[in-house]
Structure 1
Amino acid sequence: MASGDLGGLSEAVPARDWADGLGTDALLAILHRLDHVDVLMGADQVCRPWRRAAREEPSLWRRIAMRGNEGIARRLNRGGLACEAVRRSAGRCEAFCGEYAGDDGFLIYLSEQAPCLKSLRLISCNGVTNEGVAEAVKELPLLEELELSLCDNVGRSEVFKVVGEVCPQLKHFRLNKKLFDVTVWEKEKDVQGIASMHGLRSLQLFSNLLTNAGLETILDNCPHLESLDIRHCFNIDMDETLLVKCARIKTMRLPDDLTDDYDLEIQSPIRTYVPREPLGYVCYSDFCYNSYEDSDDDSEDDSDFYGEPSRYESDLDKYEKMLRSSMRTFLR
């Protein structure tokens, strides 16, 4: 019997840890497929090479994407996670996309730590204000793309004029709202600021309140515009004057065009406003309600449904189980 052979059976070969044997290029190829929240909250706990790749390879953090749903965002310190992601980029971050992530403080940190930033996309970041955006973009002269979608506390020409002045290379701008509401009186509050972005190639203004006059102002001041998306901008009436001005635009999406390819939240538009007697009743489109009465039980149940933590329980458990004690600072 050969040495080491027990009853004709060779010694058991220890199982190989495939994760530990991957090269850096292969590891980075895997990590690049993950949202950066997942990288921060668990991928660097697999083994030492994974941890080294997640923490010490700035190329992984050159383009940061932190998307997610609101339920998880309530439990995580998304601003802290965003700061850590930017820190790991070691000054090489060129693009940041954050959903439910970041506030004015984070924007200032980003502008200081990512001087080469070319793309900034903020979605549903209600902690971001006009003041924060105006201050941050002053340190981001290389910015070519800016998105401020569903950010309820950002708007008005004053802040966009600052963007147009300090970001001369800006080519793409998205300013999208959840809801078109004809009852809001300030129709052109964003127009003059957007019109100051003279180098724009593409512009998306979903559910904006601008009128024909406002759109004409933008078209006259943005001569390089090639793509224009004004879906759900129901104050716009594409008359002959506008059609002539838009003839040079290669890609055009009109107010009533389909929204199947739109990737953000949409609420049903309020397109008409007709007050009726008795006083206190208001009609929006095809329905009326008493503005003096509280909402009924059904509407309260609907709002509770969207905030119900149990809907996200499995996702939260996943993050908490993977979370090291040193990372628990990212939990609220």
Structure 2
Amino acid sequence: MIIRFLTIVYEKRAPCLKSLRLISCFDILDEGFSAAVKKFPLLEELELTLCDNLGENDVFKAVGKACPQLKRFRLSKRCFYNYKHSGYNKDEQALGIATMHELRSLQLFANNLSNEGLTAILDNCPFLESLDIRHCFNVSMDDTLQAKCARIKTLRLPYDSTDDYDFQVHKPIWSGADFFSDSDDDCIYGGPDYILDSDEYDDYCDPYIYLDGVYEDELDEEDRMMLKAMHMFLK
């Protein structure tokens, strides 16, 4: 049955897929995603929001190579965490994104990229028109970066307001600080304040329920099988 599901995904649907949104898909890993994205050659829009286990092992270089027509990319993390003193390569993701040469719109929320990573993106994505790097606090907008960003029509900088952000915005965590805190101020909200009840939260976090803005109960039987098959393969 799994083989039949995968046949539906890859032979009938995946080659024509143009938009893919993955939100709170915690159990999708780099290896599975890198393999799956090779089946999406026409992909133009990709969103990876709160997918905590995606983003290393050159996964974004794989996306850039497999999806040459990608025009919109959104990569949003739960919060900014400063890896300054840990030896973490904070520009690995940015250097992968720099291979997405046809990008028109890019949102990197709470990413660890530095000036070097942002420079690589700006130098290698000549068609970029919209750039959102809010909560990317390793970026310091010096004269060089300001000059490179002059061509960007819509620019959101690290300290710009997050009032219109779609998800909960957490305070940044700096090296040496406690990862968890009991403070009521640790979480601020983008957009209108809201609290999900238990049923809504289960729906929001269910990786089966959401693909490209479509709820599973809105799909026909064949599409539901396709969705579940894709999730199983991406693990």
Paired residue for 2:78, among 178, 184, 206?
A: 178
How many Å apart are 1:312 and its aligned residue?
Answer: 2.6
Counterpart CA distance in 1 for 2:27 and 2:137 is 28
Q: 1:231 to 1:313 in 2, by over 3 A?
A: closer
Identity of aligned residues (%): 56
Counterpart CA distance in 1 for 2:201 and 2:23 is 20
Conserved 8 A contact 1:119-1:146: yes
Q: 1:193 to 1:119 in 2, by over 3 A?
A: same
Counterpart CA distance in 2 for 1:215 and 1:177 is 17
- TM-score by length of structure 2 reads 0.70
Counterpart CA distance in 2 for 1:219 and 1:239 is 14
Paired letter, 1:209: N
Counterpart CA distance in 1 for 2:56 and 2:93 is 5
Give a deviation string over 1:149-183, Cα, whole Å, max 9, x none. Answer: 11011002611111111211100001110110113
Counterpart CA distance in 1 for 2:112 and 2:201 is 37
3-state DSSP class of the match of 1:246?
Answer: helix
Conserved 8 A contact 2:30-2:57: no
Paired letter, 1:227: S
Match of 1:120 in 2: 20
Paired letter, 2:139: I
Match of 2:198 in 1: 312
Conserved 8 A contact 1:157-1:192: no
| RMSD value, Cα | 3.1
- TM-score by length of structure 1 reads 0.51
The 5 A counterparts of 1:203-282 are 203-270=106-173, 272-273=174-175, 282=176
Conserved 8 A contact 1:172-1:201: yes
Match of 2:92 in 1: 189
Name which structure has the greater RCO, CA cutoff 8 Å, separation 6+.
Answer: 2
Give a deviation string over 1:230-263, Cα, whole Å, max 9, x none. Answer: 0000001111000000000000000000111110
Q: 1:177 to 1:233 in 2, by over 3 A?
A: same
The 5 A counterparts of 1:133-152 are 133-152=33-52
Counterpart CA distance in 2 for 1:314 and 1:127 is 20
3-state DSSP class of the match of 2:33?
Answer: helix
How many Å apart are 1:130 and its aligned residue?
Answer: 1.0
| Larger Rg belongs to | 1
Conserved 8 A contact 1:157-1:190: no
Q: 1:113 to 1:242 in 2, by over 3 A?
A: same
Counterpart CA distance in 2 for 1:314 and 1:169 is 35
Counterpart CA distance in 2 for 1:151 and 1:131 is 14
3-state DSSP class of the match of 1:131?
Answer: helix
Conserved 8 A contact 1:150-1:177: yes
Counterpart CA distance in 1 for 2:70 and 2:199 is 41
Give a deviation string over 1:272-305, Cα, whole Å, max 9, x none. Answer: 43xxxxxxxx4x3xxxx6x9xxx89x79xxxxxx
Q: 1:233 to 1:314 in 2, by over 3 A?
A: closer
Counterpart CA distance in 1 for 2:141 and 2:20 is 31
Structure whose residues are more often helix by fraction: 1
How many Å apart are 1:315 and its aligned residue?
Answer: 9.5
2:91 paired with 1:199: no
Q: Where does structure 2 lack aligned partners over 5 or more consecutive residues? A: 184-196, 203-216, 222-227, 229-235
Conserved 8 A contact 1:178-1:266: yes
Match of 2:30 in 1: 130
Match of 2:61 in 1: 161
Q: Where does structure 1 lack aligned partners over 5 or more consecutive residues? A: 1-82, 88-104, 274-281, 300-310, 317-322
